[in-house]
Amino acid sequence: MLALLAAVAAAVGVVALTAFLFRKLGTEDRDPGGPSTGHAGAMLSALFLLVFAIAIIVPWTTADAARQNTFAEGQAAVETYWAAGDLPDEDQAWVRQSLRDYVAFVVRDEWPLMAEGKMSPEGGARLDALRSRVDQSKLDDDTKAAVLDKVEEMSAARSRRAADAGTVPPSGLLPLTILTGVVVIIFPFLAGARPRGLTLAPLMVMAGMLGVGVYLTWNISYAFAGALAVGPDALQAALQEFQRIAEGA
């Protein structure tokens, strides 16, 4: 924060120093539509658009990656369910039931927590128990390794989901979006313009659109909450696939 304040103070100081050194050169520019105002207005608009674009692109990219990771987790769960078919009957029944319980737990209990950027430790404990049961089963090493590899894929996918749930926009991005939006709205008044009557209408429309844009950037900030929220569709599809496999066995 101190570095940021120092940078702002330095930039303002450069403007003040330049204005002092060149005070006797050129002509005064008091016109709200003059070159100084036009230059500052263009740069402020460009700055707002840059910040706004980052505030949109970063969450969009994060949500897209989270959606792909979720489908990868669902696929890993289905492949683990298939691989469990090589286990002895007792172990096979336990592992497959554990998989159904785990995926149902994620969909029902853990997904709402991820909207707050949290994960339940119970999910990790369930996977650990599943891995331990497979490791202790009476199988040849190759078969056991194949099943454990699928469980490991599920665990890795869960870790990626946890990372996605905890991903937040860059620090200060949303406040900067709001600040630049407010400055763009009030800039004509700061420049000395005093619009009246119908000339206020375009400013009001612009202010309203900027308000909607800033709200949208806040509403899509997290991968598992808001307008771009990633749902548990992939894992719900995995539960249906479990049922199909069980009925076909």
With respect to residue 20, please indicate whether it lies within any of the assigned structural domains. no
Across the chain, mean pLDDT equals 81
With respect to residue 13, please indicate whether it lies within any of the assigned structural domains. no
With respect to residue 190, please indicate whether it lies within any of the assigned structural domains. yes
With respect to residue 28, please indicate whether it lies within any of the assigned structural domains. no
With respect to residue 202, please indicate whether it lies within any of the assigned structural domains. yes
8 Å CB contact between 150 and 76: yes
Per-residue pLDDT for 140 more than 90?
no
Query: Residue 100's domain spans which residues?
Result: 34-248
With respect to residue 5, please indicate whether it lies within any of the assigned structural domains. no
DSSP letter string, 205-248: HHHHHHHHHHHHHHHTSSTTSSTTPPPSHHHHHHHHHHHHHHHH
Q: Is residue 81 exposed (0-12), middle (13-18) or buried (19+ Cβ within 10 Å)?
A: buried
Per-residue pLDDT for 69 more than 80?
yes
Number of domains in the chain: 1
Report CA 157 to chain centroid distance, whole Å: 17
Q: Is residue 153 exposed (0-12), middle (13-18) or buried (19+ Cβ within 10 Å)?
A: middle
With respect to residue 150, please indicate whether it lies within any of the assigned structural domains. yes
Mean pLDDT of 213-217: 84
Per-residue pLDDT for 47 more than 70?
yes
Rounded Cα–Cα distance for residues 79 and 238 (Å): 10
SS3 33: coil
Instruction: Please report the pLDDT score of residue 110 as a whole number.
Output: 92
Instruction: Please report the pLDDT score of residue 14 as a whole number.
Output: 53
With respect to residue 67, please indicate whether it lies within any of the assigned structural domains. yes
Percent of the chain with pLDDT over 70: 82
